[in-house]
Amino acid sequence: MKTRLGLLAVVLLMGGCKVNYSTTGASIDPEAKTVNVTFIENRAPLNNPLLSQKVTEALKTKITSQTRLTQVNEPNADYEFKGYISSYTFTNAAVVNTEQAATSRLTVTINITFVKRVGDKKGYQQSFSRSADFPASKLPSDVENSLLDQTIVPQMTDDIFNRAFANW
């Protein structure tokens, strides 16, 4: 009799548990169907005019290709990402001597607000920052688009995605 009661308790407890599995590691509430990634504005004093579009499209693509969510342009989507680029800077990363830089660095910071309207409704507001180094002998205008396309934007979208869907 005790064995049956114990087995019944385990079955009831297990029936109340729900785990969402995904091939990408994304954890999405079963009720969520839509996402709205709004245009990420560029408010940085120094900026690349293409960066807002690159970040917005990269985030939309990552979410729609790695989740079952559908991108909509509605303010009451189940999930919503909104934000702005707050910083875009070039600095010296390594100096050979007091007069010459060996390496320069491009750093981009984006402030993101993630709103969840279903499930636990625990979104976030956070800054994400990524950098990429390049030889100081090169002009920033010669390398910035490749640094953005190959390093900074993909890493930043991974960070935003992981924070929202993988609880990182």
The Cα 13–Cα 9 span in angstroms is: 6
Digit-coded pLDDT (tens) for 150-168:
999 999 999 999 999 986 5
Query: What residues contact 27, with CB distance under 8 A and at least 6 apart?
Result: 20, 165, 166, 167
CA distances to 24, 78, 96 from 122, in Å: 21, 12, 47
Can you tell me the mean pLDDT for 125-129? 98
Determine the pLDDT at residue 31: 93
Q: Which of 119, 128, 144 is nearest to 59 (CA)?
A: 128
Digit-coded pLDDT (tens) for 39-65:
999 999 998 999 999 999 999 999 999
Residue 16 has pLDDT above 50, yes or no: no
